[in-house]
Amino acid sequence: MRLKDRLALTQILKKLDKIPKIKWAAIYCTFNRWGFPNEMDDVKPKWWTEDDENGMTRDSDRKILINIPVMDIIKSTLGERWVSRECNKDRMTEEEHNDWWIKNHINKKI
């Protein structure tokens, strides 16, 4: 990871720490869609560009170095089920998500 990218990640993690955890799931979903959360605009790297229709840009390799650590911290703090529910709330009701979660996560572990 480039020094500039490490510095950007450090700034983003410091900013994340100041944001109430109730907003973290939405931030996770934004990073998951290759976006950059509005709550963190003041620490957005200058090289961060909007994605094309496939979710990829020339900066995608750099974005993943930011996205993955931030998303891992959020997921480990809130839990995978909670962030999954937030990211799918426009597509499924809470009951549908619960049924899907049990079918695809709990039953597969048994």
Does the pTM surpass 0.85? The reply is no
Going from N- to C-terminal start, the domains of the chain cover 3-78
Model confidence pLDDT, tens digit, residues 12-61: 999 999 999 999 999 999 999 888 999 999 999 988 876 655 555 667 78
Which pairs count as long-range contacts for 83-90, CB under 8 Å and 24+ apart, including other chains? 83/24, 83/25, 83/28, 83/29, 85/25, 86/25, 86/26, 86/28, 86/29, 87/25, 87/28, 87/29, 87/32
